[in-house]
């Protein structure tokens, strides 16, 4: 096979197998031919709105076939899709739009300075093909904003692909892929569209529901999916008799990514599915490095996110920049190739001239060079000389049987002192804040007793496993 534009891969699939179901969403199946026609018409509409080569086009749509059509149309017009959460706070979204200056918005418009394009307005336009052209960047997603204001991460990879090439050792060449994370998030976006260019069929859900997940795997013979740690937690907490109601033997493997997975949850997942079906990856939207751990490797190194793959180098550095010893905690730095894989819009990269870069995470390497991620450097709360990782607090709270999820964060008083607070998702259970505070104090001491315990019955993280702590 040869490298070709992403747009032409979709066109080829429509030409050779127009009746093949490419996407199934809440509205039903959509064929390759239907996606091609809809994308052509929308691409014509984009051009009428003066979308040109290498422009950014904001895509702010919920999960579904319309999201796929929008992105294919953007590539077809020679532009770069900039997926954004349609539920992002208006103030933050307007900041990103001012930074990125998208030519148009496909979806809901919140800024008077942007132009909205609706696929419904393209229904009467011609469906003939547009001359093949490709952007110098294939995607420009926003960061999660979990530790600060979101920014745009513009990929330096052009909108070209070899559909016959292996994407990664953990990524299947052919699959029925279940998508339950938001497509506007970089992880779901990347694997969904790389899957489509490799010949995958997508089952796209609006969000994650653990019982619905089992039902869909059974009904559609799903072979591959990506899960976040909160989704894993919800699945393994289902009663065994509920899980046994559905046949999930078609599921060849699952990939989990998007945060630190509690060891008990990971053990339960491996016990349920088998070590051969569980793979973990550590990476960021920046694509500046990646590690991988198979289920068997994880059992030998509990808590690891794996060893570097794909030409990635890992170094742990102290605050003074010197390399840490084996087992010593420090800032995780990665290097992958000589050329940068991304550029930021709205932020400054920490990538040095030597190619070393960091996502701002804290961790360590063991004697076998397996990486362990403890938390983000920005998510460490301090009291005098003592410090604790918020992820550690969260995982202790999540040990309680009535807790579905927890998010710890720092409250700052008028004197600038940090105090621990915790939001706790108890689903439909009963709970008492004092009991939760006692549990934290028992594990970490009186200095870390939460000053506030906030109970909620709704998930605290999105289905990609992310949250904006500063919004709490």
Query: Angle, nearest 10°, between helix axes 32-48 and 65-76?
Result: 50
Residues 96 and 180 in one domain: yes
Which alpha helices (DSSP H) does 199-262 contain, by range? 210-220, 229-236, 240-243
Residue finishing a domain among 218, 240, 255: 255
Pairing of the two strands 312-317 and 307-308: unpaired
Residue 310 · residue 290 · CB < 8 Å: yes
Residues 373 and 391 in one domain: no
pLDDT band at 330 (very low <50, low <70, confident <90, very high): very high
pLDDT band at 469 (very low <50, low <70, confident <90, very high): low
Average pLDDT over residues 41-63: 97
pLDDT value at 5 more than 90: yes
pLDDT value at 297 more than 60: yes
Query: Quick one: residue 70, left, alpha or beta (phi over 0 = left, psi -120 to 50 = alpha)?
Result: alpha
CA distance 423 to 93: 25
Residue finishing a domain among 349, 377, 405: 377
- The answer for residues whose C-beta is within 8 angstroms of residue 219's C-beta and 6 or more apart is none
pLDDT digits (tens, 9 = 90+) for 58-75: 999 999 999 999 999 999
Q: What is the pLDDT of residue 397?
A: 94
Residue 7 burial (CB count, 10 A): 27
pTM of the predicted protein model: 0.93
Which of 72, 146, 81, 112 is CA-nearest to residue 375?
146
Q: What pairs with residue 467 in β-bridges?
A: none
Residue finishing a domain among 216, 233, 255: 255
Q: What is the pLDDT of residue 196?
A: 97
Residues 251 and 265 in one domain: no
Residues 332 and 267 in one domain: yes
pLDDT band at 148 (very low <50, low <70, confident <90, very high): low
pLDDT value at 315 more than 90: yes
Residues 270 and 415 in one domain: no
Residue 119 · residue 104 · CB < 8 Å: no
Residues 29 and 169 in one domain: yes
> Residue 69 in 3-state DSSP?
helix
- For 187, the domain range is 4-255
Q: What is the pLDDT of residue 259?
A: 84
| DSSP output for 109-135 | ---TTS-EE-GGGGTTS--PPPPP---
Residue 212 maps to which CATH number?
3.40.50.12780
Residue 295 maps to which CATH number?
2.30.38.10
CA distance 193 to 68: 8
CA distance 208 to 230: 10
Residue 457 maps to which CATH number?
3.30.300.30
Of the listed ranges 15-19, 46-50, 357-361, 408-412, the least confidently predicted one is 408-412
Q: What's the whole-number average pLDDT of the chain?
A: 93
Q: What is the pLDDT of residue 466?
A: 80
Residues 273 and 215 in one domain: no
Q: What total of structural domains would you count in the chain?
A: 3
Residues 243 and 267 in one domain: no
Determine which helix (DSSP H) or strand (DSSP E) holds 312, and give its type and residue range.
strand 312-317
CA distances from 173 to 6, 57, 170, 183 (A): 16, 29, 10, 20
Residues 76 and 184 in one domain: yes
pLDDT value at 468 more than 80: no
pLDDT band at 472 (very low <50, low <70, confident <90, very high): low
Residues 267 and 234 in one domain: no
């Amino acid at each position: 096979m040869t490298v070709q534009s992403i747009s032409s891969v979709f066109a080829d699939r429509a030409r050779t197998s127009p009746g093949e179901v490419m996407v199934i969403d809440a509205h039903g199946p959509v064929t390759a031919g239907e996606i091609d026609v809809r994308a052509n018409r929308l691409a014509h509409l984009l051009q009428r709105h003066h979308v040109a080569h290498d422009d950014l086009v904001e895509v702010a749509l919920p999960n579904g076939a319309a999201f796929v059509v929008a992105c294919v149309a953007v590539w077809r017009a020679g532009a770069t899709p900039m997926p954004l959460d349609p539920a992002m706070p208006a103030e933050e979204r307007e900041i990103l739009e001012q930074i990125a200056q998208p030519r148009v918005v496909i979806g809901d418009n919140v800024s008077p300075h942007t132009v909205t394009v609706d696929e419904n307005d393209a229904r009467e336009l011609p469906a003939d093909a547009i001359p093949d052209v490709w952007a110098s960047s294939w995607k420009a997603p926003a960061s999660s904003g979990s530790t600060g204001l979101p920014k745009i991460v513009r990929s330096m990879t052009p909108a070209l692909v070899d559909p016959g090439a292996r994407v990664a050792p953990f990524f299947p060449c052919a699959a029925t892929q279940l998508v339950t994370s938001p497509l506007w998030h970089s992880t779901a976006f990347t694997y969904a569209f790389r899957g489509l260019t490799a010949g995958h069929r997508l089952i796209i859900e609006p969000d994650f529901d653990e019982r619905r997940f089992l039902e869909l795997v059974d009904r559609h013979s799903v072979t591959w999916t990506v899960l976040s740690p909160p989704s894993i937690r919800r699945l393994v907490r289902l009663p065994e008799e509920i899980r046994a109601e559905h046949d999930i033997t078609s599921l060849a493997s699952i990939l989990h990514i998007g945060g630190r997975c509690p060891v008990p949850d990971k053990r339960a997942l491996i016990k349920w599915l088998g070590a051969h079906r569980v793979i973990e990856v550590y990476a960021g939207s920046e694509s500046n490095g990646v590690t991988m751990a198979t289920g068997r490797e994880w059992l030998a190194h509990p808590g690891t996110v794996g060893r570097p793959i794909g030409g990635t180098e890992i170094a742990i550095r102290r605050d003074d920049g010197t390399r840490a010893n084996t087992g010593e905690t420090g800032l995780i730095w990665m290097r992958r190739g000589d050329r940068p894989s991304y550029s930021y819009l709205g932020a400054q990269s920490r990538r040095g001239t030597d190619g070393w870069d960091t996502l701002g995470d804290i961790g360590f390497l063991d004697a076998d060079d397996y990486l362990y991620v403890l938390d983000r450097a920005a998510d460490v709360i301090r009291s005098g000389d003592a410090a604790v990782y918020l992820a550690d607090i969260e995982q202790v709270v999540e040990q309680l049987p009535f807790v579905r999820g927890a998010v710890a964060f720092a409250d700052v008083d008028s004197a600038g002192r940090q105090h621990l607070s915790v939001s706790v998702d108890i689903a439909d259970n009963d709970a008492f804040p004092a009991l939760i505070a006692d549990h934290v104090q028992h594990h970490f001491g009186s200095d870390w007793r939460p000053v506030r315990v906030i109970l909620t019955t709704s998930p605290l993280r999105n289905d990609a496993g992310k949250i904006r702590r500063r919004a709490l």
